[in-house]
Each structure stands twice: as structure tokens, then as C-alpha cells.
Amino acid sequence: MSKIIDIKNLVIQFLKENVNCHEVTVIKLDKIDESWDAIAEVYEDDSFLKSMNLPPKLKRVFYSVKIDETNEVVAYEKMNDYSQ
């Protein structure tokens, strides 16, 4: 498999294991020197509705994921929004 596909799958697997989510799609993947920066679209349960015991609804959020040259995730964060 190509390196970019491996990195995409790594990001998806990492987010599925570490974020309580239903669906992950990598929408941007950049190689910077030997590191990678990814942006992923993730669907999570709406925590406000859940806290109010209302019917669940999925909320779309974005995560930024940074991967080093050894293919280890070194940082990730939930983004406030994403505009291309």
C-alpha cells in the first residue's frame, strides 16, 4: 500500500480508539518534511443533548492530528471549525 493510505488509516484508527465517535473521514493530509498533518471529519454524539437526556443526535466536528516521521501520533486536538 502507498504511504499516504497507511497514514490515512493510522489517523482513522487512532481517532476511533481515542475519541468516542461513530464515523471518521480524513479530509486533508499534508506531508511536511517527514511529518504528516491531517484534518479529520468526525461524527460524535451531541453531548448537550445527551446531558439533557434528549434523543441522541450526531454532531459533526473536526480534529487535527499530527504524526511524526516514525508514524507515531504526537498531537491531536478538536478544532472549533474548519474552512478550506
| pLDDT tens column, 57-71 | 888 999 999 999 999
Calculated CA dihedral for residues 70, 44, 59, 28, nearest 10 degrees: 10
Domains of the chain: 3-79 (3.10.450)
Under 8 Å CB-to-CB from 82, ≥6 apart: which residues? 27, 39, 41, 62
Which residue has cell 461513530?
A: 22
Whether pTM > 0.75 for this model: the answer is yes
Q: What's the confidence (pLDDT) of residue 71?
A: 93
Q: What's the confidence (pLDDT) of residue 57?
A: 85
Q: What's the confidence (pLDDT) of residue 78?
A: 94
User: For the chain, which ranges sit under pLDDT 70?
Assistant: 1, 84
Under 8 Å CB-to-CB from 71, ≥6 apart: which residues? 6, 7, 10
